[in-house]
Structure 1
């Protein structure tokens, strides 16, 4: 579980990636539980060194089964959006029949476009959906936005909490909530400012102001 927890704290993970990690962990629990029932200890080095009794094997198997059931219960809500997550993460291989009705025709257009397919292979998921034209794929873009911002990995939570502790120290106890919110937003964002565009915009404003004066 420590390994799973570490993976879930990875930077920049989307919900479908985190769901895949959880599903893999649950499958391992099922597999190891069945291995214990049959007294197969191939993947359990410690138990191989000190073979347990049959009663202990049954108990360990039952514990793994209970752990699997608890994970299944806690992540039950994600199963209801599995098809949608798969559509967003693999739009060129997902089934059109299983896709939401409002994107089915758009999905056919998307899967038939060789240029977009190549772009999907070579770029990031965010870049791909950002490049889709609003007039051609409005519903695909909307579904992608919903899935990709559903919730981030726990990395952003840990980062925000650490930043808040560092920022709101005893020397800055009078920091307002609005200022703290702005600091946290900037500290946990990775948007690269377009300085060239900002400078050009300022130059246009200055030029317009000079014209009015003259």
Structure 2
């Protein structure tokens, strides 16, 4: 990543180089007209930067040679092993970006996101096994290079398995409550004896009711639990509330950054903290204002004359 970022900075941080490079790409009729900056605070930045640099790597090297610019990227591109590492990094970052995208968005709950994480861990194990066997079917860019057995072993045993172990470590807390996730998402299929004691009787009543089973099949999960009888399924409803409020994603938090940037600009510098808090709350939630109540609560209305 370091040589790539330094190459991007050499091009984009200097106005003359940036203009000349864009003209250079236009003259060569390249598929892209520019390289991308790497931003640490953005979810998908690293993968996109690597992919764009891979797509224009030959043009970048030619441009640096033409301008007689000394850069690590040009020297590293002469090393076949480093180019293979580069291709592997682009391929695996594309897969991480796909996972990252699935873990973002409104209306997603922890048990749904954990399913995606578990699936990705299994994929990493599959990828490692296939790379060890020199099978590059899931790594299209790496497949275009001549990869030695030593490099295949490095990618499979060192890189991919280390990545899988890191996923296991980071999501250990979710692994500990995996059984509760299964109960929440599939209450009619779970084993009653493995459930918490305070839920067992209610689960038996739930699984015996065919009308509730049809309701479960036809309604979203949140609406299904909300529709259960408050007294008959008291413990089950409390359990579902605890599981649904688990903070599963930073999406809403990160969503506030662009909203804040738009609203707290130099042209709106007089916004107070309370005004800004109201703007952020409305922008990041599904609240619908009760306009009739707001109008009725007004102490004085100004009529048009």
Q: TM-score range by the shorter chain?
A: 0.7 to 0.9
For 1:185, the equivalent position in structure 2 comes to: 281
The answer to whether the 8 A contact 1:12-1:153 is kept is: no
User: Could you say if the C-alpha distance between residues 168 and 191 of structure 1 is closer, same or farther in structure 2, counting changes exceeding 3 Å?
Assistant: same
CA distance, structure 1, for counterparts of residue 246 and residue 287 of structure 2: 19
Alignment RMSD, CA only?
2.2
Distance 2:258 2:121 in 1: 30
Out of 150-159 and 137-146, give the one that drifted further. 150-159
- Residue 113 of structure 1 corresponds to 209
Q: TM-score by structure 2 length?
A: 0.60
Residue 186 of structure 2 corresponds to residue 87 of structure 1: no
Alignment of 1:101-180 (within 5 A): 101-180=197-276
The change in CA–CA distance for 1:98 and 1:194 in structure 2 (over 3 A counts) is farther
Structure 1 contact 8–154 (Cα < 8 Å) conserved: no
Where does residue 209 of structure 1 map in the other structure? none
Q: TM-score, normalised by structure 1?
A: 0.83
In structure 2, stretches of 5+ residues that fail to align are 1-95, 297-305
Rounded Cα–Cα distance in structure 1 between residues aligned with 2:148 and 2:139:
15
Aligned residues: 199
2:150 corresponds to: 55
Change (3 A) 1:58 1:85: same
Check the 8 A contact 1:29/1:64 in 2, yes or no.
yes
Q: Per-residue displacement from partner, 1:159-212 (whole Å, max 9, x unpaired)?
A: 23322332333344454444433332222222456779x69xx7xxxxxxxxxx
Give the aligned partner of residue 35 of structure 1: 130
The worse-fitting range, judged by mean Cα deviation, of 164-173 and 68-77 is 164-173
Deviates more, 1:71-80 or 1:157-166: 157-166
What does residue 24 of structure 1 align with? 119
Conserved in 2, the CA contact under 8 Å of 1:37 and 1:57?
Answer: yes
2-structure distance, mates of 1:44, 1:95: 40
Shift of 1:52: 0.9
Task: Tell me, in whole angstroms, the C-alpha distance in 2 between the residues paired with 1:104 and 1:178.
Answer: 47
Point out where structure 1 has 5 or more consecutive residues left out of the alignment: 203-214
2:255 alignment partner, SS class: helix
Q: Distance in 1 between matches of 2:284 and 2:113?
A: 20
* Kept after mapping to 2: 8 A contact 1:14/1:152: yes
Structure with larger Rg: 2
SS in 2 for 1:97: helix
Paired residue for 1:96? Answer: 192
